[in-house]
Amino acid sequence: MNATAVIIIAIAAAVVLGALAFLTLARRSDVRGAGALSAETVRRDAAARSETTVDVGASSGAEVEAEAVEARRSVGVGLAPVSDDTGLAPWTPPDEEAMGVSRRQFFNRATIGLMAAGIGTFSAASFVAFLWPTKTGGFGGKVPVGRLDDIRAGIRTGNGFFYAPEARAWITEYPADAIPKAEEAYSASLMPGINQGFIASYQKCPHLGCRVPECVSSQWFECGCHGSQYNRVGEKKGGPAPRGMDHFPLEFSSAGEVTVDTGTIVQGSAIGTNTTGQEAEGPHCVGASDH
């Protein structure tokens, strides 16, 4: 699973979790212990209300105030004592249990709110990362490896092999007379390089991942770990590897600069592929084994 798929799955999961958190916040909880009063508490509250119910026939607050003003007028200066019998309901302290429920609600909602904020932040970061331009210049992106002429000279100097460490790849010449067979055997993404006479092979052995070195004497690649062998263009010749060496597409600028697209790994050719017909040109560096 590549990084893009992981990011898409993460965003989808974040959206689902965010929706759940939103619905949980929006929904009025009527679950006992998470905001609801017990039946006993409800009964007690009802009984207390019936004891403190104000007589519907009693005076309203405005009427009581008017009576007080009238009483003050009747004594002349407005210092008349105000009656304690206001008819207002007495203050009762808040119910401890109800306050406890409110605290639970507060912590529940604070927890869910923080979780939703975290998920939202993660989603936003993933989205930005998803939109960020593909990196260039390092392995996993497009790696410039020099000018075409320099690579050709490097292959001569390297006795047939040019190693590009930043791209973790070998670049070798692809024979022009093998191009028709290559068109049938290889991905179209490799053809720009092959048509220019080059192929880039990933250094990682498709058997168990060791770095595959060149063997100058045989002019093959020969893996020292378990003896897999590949010809100069990475087609499997022996050993336990399940296929040929993997490849990277090559790109060429109009100015002659060569770039290896290490973000695109093209799986090696199937066992039996032999487009160049190149046999070992000298002694092998390692003995092939079939374990």
The nearest distance, CB 271 to ligand FES, in angstroms, is 13
The nearest distance, CB 263 to ligand FES, in angstroms, is 23
- Does 210 interact with ligand FES (rule: CB under 6 A)? yes
| Pairing mode, strands 229-230 and 220-222 | antiparallel
**198, 172 in Cβ contact below 8 A?**
yes
The nearest distance, CB 288 to ligand FES, in angstroms, is 9
- Does 208 interact with ligand FES (rule: CB under 6 A)? yes
Nearer to ligand FES, 218 or 228 (CB): 228
Which among 290, 291, 289, 237 is positioned nearest to 268, based on CA atoms?
237
The nearest distance, CB 265 to ligand FES, in angstroms, is 16
Nearer to ligand FES, 141 or 240 (CB): 240
The nearest distance, CB 172 to ligand FES, in angstroms, is 18
Nearer to ligand FES, 142 or 237 (CB): 237
86: left (phi over 0), alpha (psi -120 to 50) or beta: alpha
Contact stretch for ligand FES (CB under 6 A) within 44-52, 97-105, 208-216, 243-251: 208-216
Q: What is the C-alpha separation between 142 and 148, in angstroms, rounded? A: 16
Residue of 155, 169, 190, 205 that binds ligand FES (CB under 6 A):
205
Nearer to ligand FES, 181 or 226 (CB): 226
Count of chain residues binding ligand FES (CB under 6 A): 13
The nearest distance, CB 184 to ligand FES, in angstroms, is 27
Nearer to ligand FES, 207 or 247 (CB): 207
- Residues 228-267 binding ligand FES (CB under 6 A) are 228, 239-241
Nearer to ligand FES, 193 or 227 (CB): 227
- 136: CB partners within 8 A, 6+ apart: 142, 143
Find the distance separating the first CA and the last CA of the chain, reported in whole Å. Answer: 29
- Extract the tokens encoding 80: 């008349």
The nearest distance, CB 123 to ligand FES, in angstroms, is 40
Q: How far is CA 116 from CA 111, 129, 236, in A?
A: 9, 20, 53
Backbone angles phi, psi at 222, to 5 degrees: -135, 120
Q: Residues in the site for ligand FES, rule: CB under 6 A?
A: 205, 207-210, 223, 225-228, 239-241
